[in-house]
Chains A and B, each alone.
Chain A
Amino acid sequence: MADASAPTERRRTALVGLLLASVFAVATCGLIYELLAGTIASYLLGDSVTQFSIIIGTYLFAMGVGSWCSRYVKRDELRLFIRVEILVALVGGWSAAGLFLLFPLVEQFRPILYGLVFVIGFLVGLEIPLLMRILRDRFDFSETVSNVLTFDYVGALAASLLFPLLLVPHLGLIRTGLMFGLLNVGVALLLLLLVPSRASLMRERILALVVMMSLIAGLLTAERIQRWSEIAAYGERVIYATSSPYQRLVLTRHDDDIRLYLNGNLQFSSRDEYRYHEALVHPAMGRVARPANVLILGGGDGLAAREVFRHPGVRHVTLVDLDPAMTRLFSQTGLLRALNGDALTDKRMHVVNADAFRWVRETKARFDVIIVDFPDPVDFSVGKLYTETFYRMLRPHLAPGGMAVVQSTSPLVAPAAFWTVAQTLETAGFQTRPYHVYVPSFGEWGFILAGLVDPGTTTRLLPGNRFLSDATARQALVFPLDMARRRVPVNRLDNQALVRSFAEEWARYEG
Chain B
Amino acid sequence: MKADAGGPSRRAILKGGMAAATVLALPACETPTSGSSGGADMALGHRLRDGAFPEPVREERVPLLIAGGGVAGLSAGWRLREAGFDDFRLIELEDQPGGNARGGRNAVSAYPLGAHYLPIPNEEARGLRHMLRQMGVIVGERDGKPVYDPLQLCADLQERLLWQGKWQEGLVPRTGLSSKDEADLAAFNRTMADFSRRRDTEGRPAFAIPIAYSARDADLLALDRMSFAQWLDQQGWTSSVLRAHVRYACRDDYGTEPADVSAWAGIHYFASRRGFTADGSGDNELTWPEGNSRLTSLIADRLGDRITTGQVAFRARPDEKGAMVDVFDAQQGSSIRYRADAVILAMPHFIATRLLGEKPDAAYSYAPWLIANVTVDRAPEGKGSALAWDNVSASSASLGYVVATHQSDSHTGPTVLTWYMALSDMPPASARRLLVDRSDVDWRRLVRDDLLGMNPDLNGAIRSIDLWKWGHAMVRPTPGFLWDVAPRQRAAILPPFFRAHSDLSGLSLFEEAHYRGMAAAEAALSSIGHPHETLL
Contact = CB atoms under 8 A, between A and B. Distances in A.
Nearest to B14: A230
Given A104-B18, A358-B409, A495-B281, A380 B386 contact: yes
Contacts of B441: none
A355 B413 CA distance: 10
Most chain B CB within 10 A, of A105, A356, A390, A494, is at A494
Given A245-B414, A263-B8, A494-B156, A373 B13 contact: no
A357 B410 contact: yes
B142 interface: no
Contacts of B155: 380, 384, 493-494, 496
Nearest to B281: A494
Contacts of A268: 1
B10 A245 contact: no
B206 to A, nearest CB: 27
Contacts of A381: 386-387, 409-412
B98 to A, nearest CB: 24
B284 interface: yes
A33 interface: no
A267 interface: yes
Given A248-B11, A385-B410, A376 B156 contact: no
A264 B412 contact: no
Interface string A300-336: 0000000000000000000000100000000000000
B62 interface: no
Nearest to A392: B150
B411 A383 contact: no
Contact of B284 (A265, A378, A494, A496): A494
Contact of B7 (A246, A265, A380, A389): A265
Contact of B413 (A246, A262, A493): A246
A315 B409 CA distance: 30
Interface stretch (A9-17, A23-31, A498-506): A498-506
Interface in B121-163: 150-151, 153-158
Contacts of A358: 408-410
Interface in B1-51: 1-8, 10-11, 13-14, 17-18
Contacts of A265: 2-5, 7
A496 B157 contact: yes
B156 A445 contact: no
A322 B411 contact: yes
Interface in A373-426: 373, 375-376, 378-385, 387-390, 407, 410
A228 B17 contact: yes
A243 to B, nearest CB: 9
A268 B4 CA distance: 12
Contacts of B388: 380
Contacts of A233: 10
A118 interface: no
A156 B410 CA distance: 56
Contact of B13 (A228, A322, A384, A492): A228
Nearest to B280: A495
Contact of A379 (B378, B386, B414): B386
A252 B261 CA distance: 60
A378 B5 CA distance: 6
B10 to A, nearest CB: 5
B378 A245 contact: yes
A502 B5 contact: yes
B377 interface: yes
Nearest to B156: A496
B411 A355 contact: yes
B5 A507 contact: yes
Contacts of B11: 230, 248, 263-264
A378 B17 CA distance: 21
Contacts of B413: 245-246, 322, 355
A445 B14 CA distance: 29
A151 to B, nearest CB: 40
Contact of B10 (A230, A276, A379, A380): A230
B305 to A, nearest CB: 29
B1 A376 contact: yes
Nearest to A494: B153
Contacts of B414: 245
A227 interface: yes
Contacts of A224: 13
A493 B150 CA distance: 7
A357 B10 CA distance: 26
A264 B7 CA distance: 5
B1 A373 contact: yes
A380 B157 contact: yes
A105 B1 CA distance: 29
A267 B10 contact: no
B410 A266 contact: no
Contact of B4 (A105, A264, A383): A264
B156 A276 contact: no
A283 B8 CA distance: 31
Interface string A228-252: 1110010000000000011010000
Interface in B411-453: 411-414
Contacts of A442: 1-3
A266 B408 contact: no
Contact of B3 (A410, A492, A495): A410
A456 interface: no
A506 B281 CA distance: 27
Nearest to A273: B1
A160 B219 CA distance: 84
B8 A379 contact: yes
Interface string B248-263: 0000000000000000
A413 B71 CA distance: 51
B23 to A, nearest CB: 14
A266 B279 CA distance: 37
B7 A383 contact: no
A441 interface: yes
A246 B3 contact: no
Contacts of A378: 2, 5, 7-8
B1 A445 contact: yes
Nearest to A499: B156
Nearest to A414: B5
A254 to B, nearest CB: 17
User: Which of A263, A267, A356, A443: most chain B Cβ within 10 A?
Assistant: A263
Which of A268, A356, A492, A502 has its CB near the most chain B CB atoms (within 10 A)?
A492
A510 interface: yes
A502 B2 CA distance: 12
A510 B6 contact: yes
Nearest to B407: A493
B315 to A, nearest CB: 48
A374 to B, nearest CB: 8
Contacts of B157: 380, 496
Given A358-B408, A388-B150, A494-B156, A380 B5 contact: no
Nearest to A447: B1
B154 A494 contact: yes
A266 B17 contact: no
Contacts of A494: 150, 153-156, 158, 279, 281, 284
B1 A375 contact: yes
A382 B410 contact: yes
B2 A375 contact: yes
B446 to A, nearest CB: 26
B281 A245 contact: no
B459 to A, nearest CB: 13
Contacts of A388: 150
10 contacts: A264-B4, A357-B408, A375-B1, A376-B5, A379-B412, A380-B155, A380-B156, A387-B150, A407-B1, A510-B6
Interface of B: 1-8, 10-11, 13-14, 17-18, 150-151, 153-158, 279, 281, 284, 377-378, 386-388, 408-414
Given A276-B1, A494-B154, A506-B5, 7 more contacts: A262-B2, A263-B11, A381-B387, A384-B155, A445-B1, A493-B151, A507-B5
Which 5 pairs of residues, A with B, have the shortest CB-CB distance? A506-B5, A357-B410, A264-B7, A265-B2, A496-B156
